[in-house]
Amino acid sequence: MNEITIRDAQEDDLPAILNIYNDVILNTTAVYSEQPHTLQMRKDWYHDRVNNYFPVFVAVIDDKIAGFCSFGHFRVWPCYRYTAELSVYVEASYRGKGISKIMLQSLIGRARQMNIHALLAGISADNEISINLHRSFGFGEVAHFKEVGYKFGRWLDLKFLELILSNTPKAV
Question: For residues 63 and 3, is the Cβ–Cβ distance under 8 A?
Answer: no
- On whether residue 87 sits in a domain, the answer given is yes
Question: What's the domain range around 113?
Answer: 5-164
- On whether residue 169 sits in a domain, the answer given is no
pTM for the model stands at: 0.94
Question: For residues 147 and 156, is the Cβ–Cβ distance under 8 A?
Answer: yes
CA distance 19 to 171: 41
Number of domains in the chain: 1
CA distance 122 to 33: 14
3-state secondary structure of 57: strand
Angle among Cα 155, 28, 58 to the nearest 5 degrees reads 135
- On whether residue 170 sits in a domain, the answer given is no
- On whether residue 128 sits in a domain, the answer given is yes
CA distance 35 to 37: 6
pLDDT in tens, 107-147: 999 999 999 999 999 999 999 999 999 999 999 999 999 99
- On whether residue 171 sits in a domain, the answer given is no
At 15, which CATH number? 3.40.630.30
Provide the pLDDT confidence category of residue 172 given band limits of 50, 70 and 90.
Answer: low
Number of CB atoms found within 10 A of residue 84's CB = 22
- On whether residue 153 sits in a domain, the answer given is yes
Phi and psi angles of residue 84, each rounded to the nearest 5 degrees, phi first: -135, 150
70: left (phi over 0), alpha (psi -120 to 50) or beta: beta
Nearest to 100 by CA among 25, 171, 30, 26: 30
- On whether residue 44 sits in a domain, the answer given is yes
- On whether residue 93 sits in a domain, the answer given is yes
Amino acid letter, 88:
V
pLDDT in tens, 52-111: 999 999 999 999 999 999 999 999 999 999 999 999 999 999 999 999 999 999 999 999
